[in-house]
Structure 1
Amino acid sequence: MKLRDEHKITPDMFTKMRNLHPRWPQLYGQPKIHKPGAPIRPVVSFYNTPLPPPLQDLHKVLATYLKPLAQNPLCLKDSSDFKQGLECFLDPSFPYHCSLDVQALYTSCDLCLATKTAITSYEQNPGLLPSNITSKTLGTLITFCLDNSYLEFNGCFYSQDEGETMGSPLIV
């Protein structure tokens, strides 16, 4: 409410962050069917999480601000995006194409460095942010979200110590 009252976020944004039916973030697993033995990938569902303002909704709002920083022609959305790129790219001087996967991307990311990088990018390109929010405020909100990543599994609560959980709307 403080950010709304100080006019750093709009009333509409504040409404989007409200959650009237909260629940704890839930841990579940998805099998990696493309890997031998189909190991389980842990994912945290932030759907309807309860922190004031609700973490899931704050993550979503912040993700909309961070999305312009993630625009890169070398990034691929998924396998279909890769296939479509191959079909459009028929340069005979590049006979080989590849796609790389990062092991444990979410949990091995240095989030302090990522947050500083985002803040620096906005300081260098202030037009990417709405006029009512500063890069410092954005950094504070990102840090709040990252410092309050927790989940419930089998009746016990756990905090994410390193990196970010897969499933977080904040990760773009």
Structure 2
Amino acid sequence: MKLYHGSNMRVENPDLQRSKPFKDFGQGFYLSDNYKQAEDLAIVKVEQMRRGEAIVNEFDFDESVLSSGELSVKIFDDYSEECFRNRKSPSKTQSFMTRLNPEQIKIMKDELTVELADWLMSTYGYSPSEALDVLYTSETFERLQDTATGFYFQSVGYVSSFLKNEVENATFS
């Protein structure tokens, strides 16, 4: 079976560590058999992230996995009022984010900053001061500081993928 995932980047191997934790049906890698739906979601993702290009990733899915118990799967054979409600009303994430006060958001940003600096040191062998220099001059850090992006609410795995792209392509300010 062919399944599609819309994104602002090519995805060859889905990594749940990069998935947002509070999606409509929980943390996961969301797929559709509808190419147009995946394409629309890719366009939205590019607009949200302000980078990349709309890419529809295609996967050949082994249907026997559905009954093996390896994955937690939610299948909608037809239109789903439940899914429609989740998409048309504020998501659980947005609702939760709006209840955070500025101090809580600052703490989340600070914690993610420490995690990203640790990630830079362990991944690239940077010293603490080198890691902070790279982080503080990155577009990723600038986006983390912009509360409107919601980057502070993402996993370190997800945010570090943007930082990795900057490091490996040397696109620092």
Same fold by TM-score greater than 0.5: no
- Tell me the TM-score normalized by structure 2: 0.26
**Whose strand fraction is larger, Structure 1's or Structure 2's?**
1
**Whose helix fraction is larger, Structure 1's or Structure 2's?**
2
Larger Rg: 1
